């Protein structure tokens, strides 16, 4: 039953990731920037959605990933090898394919006079030589060129560290998660990767799996979690906007994760909705992978022809993620029908 619940939450979480990337900031072109006219109401909405509710998506994905990796994992070298071999197809192959594809598109786009103005200096990879191209693909010193794939990059690193992590968790119980959580709250970390957010939530998921606990063990406490989360979310928004004070941000995210894990129980009671989300779950990885640089390019195209008035900025912020998600879902199911093996490969053998 947990697998069904996990499938139900995947696509909504991916949609939240799109809203994280639908930020309201100056739009950069090669020749300069377009400054957006942002009404205060939109600032509040963005802080509540993109910097508030949507921020539960990434830690929840790492939590789920750690849980699924460590379910049935006994810490043996043989089991470790099987787990890593399985992740070659689900993580490494799509990571390489998508980043090589996006890097190639950037190179072509920067080479054509018609499209070169859409690429700002930070997006350029031409002229840096082979090392710059490799860095763009693998993300050694920064995000990979397909920047949402930092999640997959960190996940691969954590998978490699699973054997010592299993040893630590079985010998010290909850000590390691207890040490990591304050580091995550304080945004303090000494490693360039994996990120503290990735490490903390992957480890919590691993600890729950090793102790045979369900991710949805507290789903009956929705009536407690939801009101507390709403209060903490509002307090966090006020503190960030008024005082630039962020100490409530991570606690609000943590409570948001707990609240999100309560939702599948209620969604499953609505058969049509749960059936739709289970179907859309198969498209989740494809939407995640193909969202960028598509969202950025669409935003730039829109602001190259539209005036950045408050109404236009609000409409672009709210509607672009929905439109991009709908388009990519349609593309995914079309590809799955026409090219099932190819679609399975680029989707990490998920849902195709």
**286-306 CB burial, b ≥16 within 10 A, e <16:** bbbbbbbbebbbebbebbeee
In contact, 248 and 239? CB cutoff 8 Å = yes
pLDDT of residue 352: 47
Say what the pLDDT of residue 127 is.
Answer: 54
Q: If DSSP codes are grouped into helix, strand and coil, which group holds residue 142?
A: coil
**Per-residue pLDDT tens for 307-344?**
888 888 899 999 999 999 999 999 999 999 999 999 99
Question: For residue 63, what are the contacts with CB-CB under 8 A and spacing of at least 6?
Answer: 201, 202, 204, 205, 215, 257
What one-character-per-residue DSSP string does 287-303 give?
A: HHHHSTTHHHHHHHHHH
Model pTM score: 0.91
240-257 tens-digit pLDDT: 999 989 999 999 999 999
> What does the alpha-carbon distance between residue 247 and residue 138 come to, in Å, rounded to a whole number?
32
How many other C-beta atoms can be found within 10 angstroms of the C-beta atom of residue 258? Answer: 19
Cβ–Cβ contacts within 10 Å for residue 312, how many? Answer: 15
Q: With CA atoms as reference, report the closest residue to 280 among 2, 15, 67, 3.
A: 15
Q: Where would I find the H helices in 50-188? A: 57-70, 77-87, 93-111, 129-138, 150-160, 162-172, 175-185
Per-residue pLDDT, 217:
87
**Phi, psi at 324, each rounded to 5°:** -65, -45
At residue 124, the pLDDT reads 53
Low-confidence ranges of the chain (pLDDT < 70): 1, 25-26, 28-34, 114-130, 132-133, 351-352
Give the side-chain half-sphere CA count within 13 A for 49.
20
CB 162 within 8 A of CB 65: no
């Amino acid at each position: 039953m947990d697998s069904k619940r996990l499938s139900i939450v995947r696509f909504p979480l991916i949609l939240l990731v799109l809203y994280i990337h639908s930020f309201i900031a100056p739009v950069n072109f090669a020749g300069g920037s377009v400054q957006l006219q942002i009404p205060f109401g939109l600032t509040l909405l963005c802080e509540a959605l993109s910097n508030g509710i949507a921020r539960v998506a990434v830690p929840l994905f790492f939590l789920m990933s750690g849980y699924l990796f460590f379910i049935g994992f006994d810490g043996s070298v043989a089991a470790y090898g099987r787990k890593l071999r399985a992740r070659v197809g689900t993580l490494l192959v799509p990571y390489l394919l998508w980043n090589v594809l996006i890097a190639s598109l950037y190179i072509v786009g920067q080479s054509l006079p018609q499209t070169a103005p859409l690429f700002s200096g930070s997006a350029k990879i031409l002229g840096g030589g082979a090392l710059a191209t490799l860095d763009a693909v693998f993300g050694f010193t920064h995000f990979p060129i397909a920047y949402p794939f930092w999640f997959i990059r960190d996940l691969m690193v954590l998978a490699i560290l699973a054997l010592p992590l299993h040893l630590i968790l079985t010998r010290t119980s909850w000590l390691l998660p207890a040490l990591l959580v304050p580091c995550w709250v304080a945004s303090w970390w000494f490693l360039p990767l994996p990120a503290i957010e990735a490490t903390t939530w992957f480890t919590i998921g691993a600890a729950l799996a090793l102790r045979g606990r369900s991710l949805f063990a507290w789903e009956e406490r929705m009536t407690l979690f939801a009101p507390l989360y709403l209060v903490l979310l509002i307090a966090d928004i006020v503190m960030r906007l008024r005082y630039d004070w962020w100490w409530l941000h991570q606690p609000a995210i943590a409570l948001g994760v707990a609240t999100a894990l309560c939702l599948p129980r209620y969604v499953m009671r609505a058969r049509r909705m749960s059936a739709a989300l289970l179907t859309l779950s198969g498209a989740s990885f494809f939407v995640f992978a193909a969202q960028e640089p598509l969202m950025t390019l669409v935003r730039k195209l829109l602001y190259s022809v539209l005036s950045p008035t408050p109404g236009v900025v609000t409409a672009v912020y709210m509607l672009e993620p929905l439109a991009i998600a709908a388009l990519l879902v349609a593309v995914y199911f079309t590809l799955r029908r026409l090219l099932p093996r190819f679609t399975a490969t680029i989707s990490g053998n998920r849902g195709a």
